[in-house]
Chain A
């Protein structure tokens, strides 16, 4: 029976016809940044992807290591073993020196695994436990030649320790010689360390000797250790030559990055000789020669399935596809023939421009734009160490700020992402920034353009005022305005006249980008608006006669209650998926055919949603809580007077100027009619999610930032929808189980109005709300613009009147 290992799907011989057996090394947080990030994010699917990618590139066995300070190695190993066992065709190597961990995962594995590793550094205690496990579960074992004295450096020591281990593993614990794979350790010849010049020789001799003196055993090596410290392109060649030599003397398996092994036949004689000189210490300046040789040689990086494409084309491709795989090596290769700054300006920036154009044509969706931007950001990060600090001279710079009293920043941050990844210098000074500070910073940083952002209606008005202040301060920069409450008309008619330089409405980040380019071209001018023939009524109910003779509902209590035991999972049933997927996330159908959009949903959007949902619930990111209550009230003209234990609270509501002249107060009986009842609530999903989204932004995870923020905002609305339903049921104006789909179009009795929204845009109403409901107890507070913090909070007044529906004043 030939020595083999096996997965659920196949057996693989340890002694391949064409050695060595390649053990993929990348599923290791200490060796692969990508794997480390996936592990820390507990993105198990991403971990699996790295495994499958190695399979695709030729790994015949996969090493799996999850040891990371602060994490539970056993839990992580169990998690990934279960996942990999079913999904990986190739057998696994359990890379752990913890007998406890191995004890948990070995029984889970439906094949024959390899344990990596045993050694004698503790005198043999762990070796004993692990050998017994190997015997019990039939695993093969990698043995490192380390003992109490440390790592064996010389051939003699390596052989001695190997024999010690053999004696224990085979003679004492009953393993067979073929169950052992000795890793006789190899050390780098690339560091210049005098004492290590013979490192390769010692290893190769040891393999030869152990093979002779301990017949039947196998071998492995962490091949890339031989070249640690050298340039990646050079390492690839040296590793491949060393591997060839090791196989010649008896190495049958090797731990490598399978994608980076060059067939020996493809290595030129010249390259081989330079490697031999270094490996066999054939001359005192072998290392210098080696380094020089590979410095001059043209660097042609091949990137697996991009073979055949020029590296430049590959980079453009990666930006367009949002693919970060192999970016480091690709850029290293490009640096062989480009200056880093030129890579940015001539390759990366044009690629991002192309991304913007595709988005503008509706051929690329926002989430993919963000993934492209992540590639851009990462590329710049990888190039930065090789450049003089990117000179700010000559780069157009933009100051970005959310105006005073406003905490919303998703839009502003998207602008930051898009502008900075198109080569502009962005100074993002955050939220709630007063005009004085904007003026000061604009001067201090000597920016070219100022961008203001804000969600609220109040913020739009503030922008108008700010511009007057900018004018008084004689600011000279053009100002871009963005925010949900803004319109072209408002910017053109109300804002632009306050300021002598250009004032431009930008509806999204790409409009901002366009504006910057126009600025650079000298063609930027203020937004204008033409009155068009609008044959439309204000949307909303058109009836004029309000009938307030229907009964006032009973309410279960008067006053206010706090609810903090809401099951977060329930909220997802009330979540508006269209608003989330198509609105917040940007996964629009646009010009796509029905089938194509269906496929996008099935393959990308829905799995993403499920993953985020699961993560949010499992990690406890959602902390839904609310305060709500019912109060006696009566309307008095446009004001709703609400009676409470702490006195009357007044809610003045605006009335539509045109027909039909609606006003929220009209939906409540006046004093003469006997007064009415009103409901209010303030609901929040807490600030955890908000904090996490900001961490994602800070760590340049643009895509996930957008996704999670969108989810949070829609879940807040879902909570409001959920609680509004609860209150309708409490008031007896609805029976259980309404039609969720109908809720979108207010398919229920009455209406809730969120403060700040079109029917009651004035946030000052939050003051009496706070007196009535005391949301401080659920950790909700107000900014100086009366906006609620945390961001994912919403308030409402509940009207039960059957004719109450949304409208705009």
Chain B
């Protein structure tokens, strides 16, 4: 399930991971490590909303 940052619109796609934060593909949003923030605007995970 993709998640969208409600502050800046960045979309976390588990199939792509998050290279800017050294997150490999295949990591579900819920499994992102403690301390992970939006790579674009640094919003914490609580600001993310399920997309689809």
Q: Give chain A residues whose Cβ lies under 8 Å from the Cβ of B40.
A: 539, 744-746, 806
The complex places the Cα of A588 from the Cα of B6 at a distance, in Å, of 8
Asked if residues B6 and A579 are in contact (CB atoms below 8 Å), the reply is yes
**A534:B10 contact, CB within 8 angstroms:** no
Chain B residues near A745 (CB, 8 Å)? 10-11, 40
Report whether A578 and B20 are in contact in the complex, using a CB–CB cutoff of 8 Å: no
A578 with B33: CB separation less than 8 A: no
Give the residue among A532, A541, A745 with the most B Cβ atoms within 10 A: A745
Interface of A is mostly: loop
Pick from A535, A540, A583, A594: contact of B33, CB under 8 Å: A535
- From residue A530, how far is it (CB to closest CB) to chain B in Å? 11
| Range class of the B interface residue count | 20 to 34
* Beta-carbon contact of B35 and A532 below 8 Å: yes
Give complex CA distance A578, B49 in Å: 10
Nearest chain A CB to B48's CB is how many angstroms away?
A: 9
Complex Cα spacing A542 to B7, Å? 23
CB contacts (< 8 Å) of A808 on chain B: these are 42
Asked whether any CB of chain B lies closer than 8 Å to the CB of A657, the reply is no
**Residues 562-588 (chain A) with a chain B CB within 8 angstroms:** 576, 578-579, 582-583, 588
Q: Is A732 an interface residue (CB 8 A)?
A: no
Interface, chain A (partner B; CB < 8 A) = 532-537, 539-542, 576, 578-579, 582-583, 588-590, 594, 744-746, 758, 806, 808
Chain B contact residues: helix, strand, loop or mixed: loop
Given A534-B35, A590-B50, decide whether A539 and B6 contact each other with a Cβ distance below 8 A.
Answer: no
Asked if B9 and A578 make an inter-chain contact with CB atoms under 8 angstroms apart, the answer reads yes
B1-47 contacts to A (CB < 8 Å): 4-11, 20-22, 33-42, 47
- Check if A589 sits within 8 Å of B20, measured CB to CB: no
The 30 sampled A-B contact pairs (Cβ below 8 Å) are: A532-B35, A534-B33, A534-B34, A536-B35, A537-B21, A539-B40, A539-B42, A540-B20, A540-B39, A542-B22, A576-B8, A576-B9, A578-B4, A578-B5, A578-B6, A579-B6, A579-B9, A582-B6, A582-B49, A583-B7, A583-B47, A589-B50, A590-B49, A594-B52, A744-B11, A745-B10, A745-B11, A745-B40, A746-B40, A758-B41
Hey, which bits of chain B sit against chain A, CB under 8 A? 4-11, 20-22, 33-42, 47, 49-52
How near does chain B come to A520, taking the closest CB pair, in angstroms? Answer: 26
Going nearest first, the 3 A-B pairs with the smallest beta carbon separation are A534-B35, A583-B6, A744-B9
Give me 5 other A-B pairs in contact (C-beta within 8 A), A579-B9, A808-B42 excluded: A536-B22, A539-B21, A578-B6, A744-B8, A758-B42
A138-B40 Cα distance, complex, nearest whole Å: 67
Q: CA separation between A806 and B33, bound complex, in Å?
A: 21
Give A578 to B6 CA distance when docked, in angstroms: 6
A758 to B34, CA, bound (A): 20
Q: B51: nearest residue on chain A (CB-CB)?
A: A589
Q: Which residues of B contact A534 (CB under 8 A)?
A: 33-35
Q: Quote the shortest CB–CB distance from B36 to chain A (angstroms).
A: 6
